[in-house]
Structures are given as structure tokens and as C-alpha cells.
Amino acid sequence: MSSVRPRDAVRRATRAARWAAIVVALVVSLAPVYWMVATSFKTELEAARLAPTLWPHEPTLANYRGLWSGSLPFLAFFTNTLLTCLATAVAAVVVATPAAYALSRARFRLRGVIGYAMLVFRMLPLVVLLAPLYLLLLHARLLDTHTGLVVGFATFGLPFAVWMMKGFIDTVPIEIEEAARIDGYPRWQIMLKVVVPLVVPGLLTTATFVFMEAWNNLIYPLTFITTLEKQTLPAALVLAFTGQFKTDWGGMMAAATLTTLPLMIAFFAVQRSMVRGLTSGAVAGA
């Protein structure tokens, strides 16, 4: 009995330490989010005070109202972002799935090299691709267009999408595909009718990651889009709310809150399948 008590104490202490670590992590990660939301409800004066207030003393919706009624085409920014990011996510999974299938299943020369080359491209900093992409889009007459922006987003999202999809496709037991080959189906139909339905959680996860990455991309829209009305939300936040003499913190935080909201909704919507996809085993006759 006597040996049980110290072990209980150790267990309790471990649990307390674990909770403390969780609380610290939560505070560190949620504090900026809280600050953003709180500031969005503050008046212009309160938001700019030298001694900041922890919560809005005179809560107001003026900042949100200002977004719709103000001179800035906030709705256009929002639609631009949503459309380009959705198009990027769809394009990425449509292109990445067959590429990942080939890398996962086909045996061809340079298979390893191609796979790792994608990983290396992924490791390059975003800005390295900026100049060559700019020139490519310029020659293709795609600068200052949403199509050009989608191409830009996709170049960075695709390598990641291919690797991620390959991981999901690797988990599909090969016997299932062999059964379909014996049933007489050609490769591309096996991919569409057998493999893709089994990696739907993976598709959703990959699309969400690509979507979120495109949504957060600031430097590409700032560089490739020159017309303010065509701009995406993150770039518009920087361009529209930062003036020469003052910064509209309340308006900026209201816009930032609305910018973050779709990301959170997207994440929570696929969270379950994302976890299932990442831990896998969801596929196959298990």
C-alpha cells in the first residue's frame, strides 16, 4: 500500500504539469486572436490608446458597419479571396491526385528524384519563386488577374498536395486495386472508382490545407494584383487600413476577424475527417 501513494502523487503532479502546459499553450496561441476580436469591438479612440484596455469598455459595432458602408469594397475583397482560394484548392487536388497516384503506384525511372524534387521545391521560401513567377505571369498576360493568382497559389500548394495525397493513397491496400484490375478496369478508372472514394478524407484534408495556405498568402496578391478591387483580404488589410498618418486599428481588426472566420469554419467542418485522414486506417476493409 505504502508504495502506491507516492506513485499516486507522482501521477497527480504529472497531470497538473500537463494541464499547466496546455493552459500556457492555449494562452500563447489564443491571446492574439482574443486581442483581434476585442479590438474590433473598440472605438477608434480606445483602440489607439497608449494604455491598452483588456476588453472593450464601450463595445461598438461601428468597425463592422464601416466595412460594409465605407469606401472600401470589402465584399469584393472577400469574394476575390474565397473564389481564388477555392479554385486553388480544387485545382490542387485535381492535379495532385493523379500525380500522387503515379508516385505511389507506378514504377518508373526517376520516380524517387521527382518525388524528392517536389519536397525540395516546397522547402524554398515563398519569395524565391516570386520573380520567376512574376515573369511567367507577365508573359502569359496573367498579371493582375485572378487566374494568375490561382496559378501562383497553386505552384506553392501543389508539391505539398502531391506529397500529402501520396501518403493517403499509400494506405490503400494494393489488393483492392488488383481486384479491380482482375475485374477488368483500366488504371484511370481504378483511380477514379476505387482509390479516390477511399481517400475522400485525404482529399478534404489536402484541399483544406491548400485553401488555408492560399488564404493566408500575402505576398503573391500584393505582387501580382495591382488593382485594389481585385485584391484579396490579407493584402487589402495591409493596403487599405494602413494610412500615411494613422492606422485604423478597429477597422483593421474587424476585417481581420472576418478574414479569419471562414478559415475557422473550414477547419472545424473538416476537422473530424482531417484527423481520421491523418491518422489513417480509415480506408480498406479494416
Applying CB under 8 A, does 192 fall inside the site for other proteins? no
Cα distance between residue 123 and residue 115, in whole Å: 13
Applying CB under 8 A, does 89 fall inside the site for other proteins? no
Applying CB under 8 A, does 111 fall inside the site for other proteins? no
- Residue 34: CA atoms inside 13 Å, Cβ hemisphere, count? 10
Q: Grid coordinates 501518403 are at which residue?
A: 167
Applying CB under 8 A, does 285 fall inside the site for other proteins? yes
Applying CB under 8 A, does 112 fall inside the site for other proteins? no
Helix and strand totals (H; E) in the chain: 14, 0
Q: Grid coordinates 501543389 are at which residue?
A: 158
Applying CB under 8 A, does 52 fall inside the site for other proteins? no
DSSP state of 193: I
Applying CB under 8 A, does 198 fall inside the site for other proteins? yes
Given 57, 173, 216, 229, the residue binding other proteins (CB under 8 A): 173
Nearer to other proteins, 144 or 178 (CB): 178
Cα distance between residue 224 and residue 115, in whole Å: 29
Cell of 166: 501520396
Cell of 209: 490545407
Residues 6+ apart with CB under 8 A from 8: none
For other proteins (CB under 8 A), the number of binding residues is: 19
- Residue 251: CA atoms inside 13 Å, Cβ hemisphere, count? 21
Applying CB under 8 A, does 252 fall inside the site for other proteins? no
Applying CB under 8 A, does 281 fall inside the site for other proteins? no
Applying CB under 8 A, does 284 fall inside the site for other proteins? yes
> Smallest distance, Å, CB 222 to other proteins?
43
> Smallest distance, Å, CB 283 to other proteins?
7
Applying CB under 8 A, does 197 fall inside the site for other proteins? yes
Applying CB under 8 A, does 106 fall inside the site for other proteins? no
Terminal alpha carbon distance of the chain: 43
Residues that bind other proteins in the complex, under the rule CB under 8 A: 173, 175-176, 178-186, 194, 197-198, 283-286
